[in-house]
Amino acid sequence: MSQNKILIRGTKVLGGDAADVLVDGETISAVGTGLEAAGATVIDADGLVLLPGLVDLHTHLREPGREDSETVLTGTRAAAAGGFTAVHAMANTFPVADTAGVVEQVWRLGKEAGYCDVQPVGAVTVGLDGKQLAELGAMHESAAGVTVFSDDGKCVHDAVIMRRALEYVKTFDGVVAQHAQEPRLTEGAQMNEGEVSAELGLGGWPAVAEESIIARDVLLAAHVGSRVHICHLSTAGSVEIVRWAKSKGWNVTAEVTPHHLLLTDEMVRSYNPVYKVNPPLRTAEDVTALREALADGTIDCVATDHAPHPHEDKDCEWGAAAMGMVGLETALSVVQQTMVDTGMLTWEQVADRMSHAPARIGRLTGQGRPVSPGEPANLTLVDPAYRGAVDPAHFASRSRNTPYEGRDLPGRVTHTFLRGRATVIDGKLT
Partner 1 sequence: MKRHLISAADLTRDDAVLILDTAEELGRLADRPIKKLPTLRGRTVVNLFFEDSTRTRISFEAAAKRLSADVINFSAKGSSVSKGESLKDTALTLEAMGADAVVIRHHDSGAPHRLATSGWIGGSVVNAGDGTHEHPTQALLDAFTLRRRLGDGPGTDLAGRRVTIVGDILHSRVARSNVHLLSTLGAEVTLVAPPTLVPVRTESWPCEVSYDLDAQLAKSDAVMMLRVQRERMNAAYFPTEREYARRYGLSGERMARMPEHAVVMHPGPMNRGMEISAEVADSPRCTAVEQVTNGVSIRMAVLYLLLSGADSGPQPAEPTPASTQTNAPTTTRTEESK
We find the least distance from the C-beta atom of residue 94 to partner 1, in angstroms, to be 17
Verify binding: residue 182, partner 1, rule CB under 8 A: no
Q: Tell which residue, 229, 287, 235, 230, has the closest CA to residue 258.
A: 287
Annotation-wise, does 173 bind a ligand? no
- Interhelix angle 207-224/159-168, nearest 10 degrees: 40
We find the least distance from the C-beta atom of residue 214 to partner 1, in angstroms, to be 20
We find the least distance from the C-beta atom of residue 66 to partner 1, in angstroms, to be 15
Annotation-wise, does 92 bind a ligand? yes
Annotation-wise, does 20 bind a ligand? no
Annotation-wise, does 46 bind a ligand? no
Active site residue 305: yes
Q: What is the 3-state secondary structure (H, E, C) of the chain?
A: CCCCEEEEEEEEECCCCEEEEEEECCEEEEEECCCCCCCCEEEECCCCEEEECEEEEEECCCCCCCCCCCCHHHHHHHHHHCCEEEEEECCCCCCCCCCHHHHHHHHHHHHHHCCCEEEECECCEHHHCCCCECCHHHHHHCCCCCCEECCCCCCCCCHHHHHHHHHHHHHHCCEEEECCCCCHHHCCCCEECCHHHHHHCCCEECHHHHHHHHHHHHHHHHHHCCCEEECCCCCHHHHHHHHHHHHCCCCEEEEECHHHHHCCHHHHHHCCHHHCCCCCCCCHHHHHHHHHHHHHCCCCEECCCECCCCHHHCCCCHHHCCCCECCCCCHHHHHHHHHHCCCCCCHHHHHHHHHHHHHHHCCCCCCCCCCCCCCECCEEEEEEEEEEEECHHHCCCCCCCCCCECCEEEEEEEEEEECCEEEEECCEEC
We find the least distance from the C-beta atom of residue 274 to partner 1, in angstroms, to be 12
Q: Which of 206, 370, 373, 392 binds partner 1 (CB under 8 A)?
A: 206
Q: Smaller CB distance to partner 1: residue 52 or 204?
A: 204
Q: Which of 15, 82, 122, 194 binds partner 1 (CB under 8 A)?
A: 194
- Interhelix angle 236-247/207-224, nearest 10 degrees: 10
Please work out the total of residues on this chain that contact partner 1, with binding judged by CB under 8 A: 26
Residues 257-296 that bind partner 1 (CB under 8 A): 269-272
Annotation-wise, does 9 bind a ligand? no
Annotation-wise, does 260 bind a ligand? no
Residues 89-128 that bind partner 1 (CB under 8 A): none
Q: Smaller CB distance to partner 1: residue 132 or 270?
A: 270
Q: Which of 202, 293, 303, 377 binds partner 1 (CB under 8 A)?
A: 202
Q: Smaller CB distance to partner 1: residue 166 or 322?
A: 322
Annotation-wise, does 407 bind a ligand? no
Q: Smaller CB distance to partner 1: residue 122 or 204?
A: 204
Residues 311-330 that bind partner 1 (CB under 8 A): 312-313, 315-321
Residues 330-389 that bind partner 1 (CB under 8 A): none
Task: Count CB-CB contacts under 10 A for residue 341.
Answer: 13
Q: Which of 201, 249, 343, 406 binds partner 1 (CB under 8 A)?
A: 201
Contact 139, 130 (CB under 8 A): no
Annotation-wise, does 4 bind a ligand? no
Verify binding: residue 211, partner 1, rule CB under 8 A: no
- Please identify which of the residues 305, 313, 315, 383 carries the catalytic annotation: 305
We find the least distance from the C-beta atom of residue 181 to partner 1, in angstroms, to be 18
Annotation-wise, does 54 bind a ligand? no
How far apart, in whole angstroms, are the C-alpha atoms of residue 196 and residue 20? 51
Q: Smaller CB distance to partner 1: residue 349 or 399?
A: 399
Q: Which of 143, 159, 198, 389 binds partner 1 (CB under 8 A)?
A: 198
Verify binding: residue 197, partner 1, rule CB under 8 A: yes
Give the interface segment with partner 1, choosing from 103-111, 159-167, 189-197, 349-357 (CB under 8 A).
189-197
Give the binding site for partner 1 (CB under 8 A): 190, 193-195, 197-204, 206, 269-272, 312-313, 315-321
Catalytic residues: 305
Q: Which residues are annotated as a binding site for Zn(2+)?
A: 58, 60, 152, 179, 232, 305
Q: Which residues are annotated as a binding site for substrate?
A: 60-62, 92, 278, 309
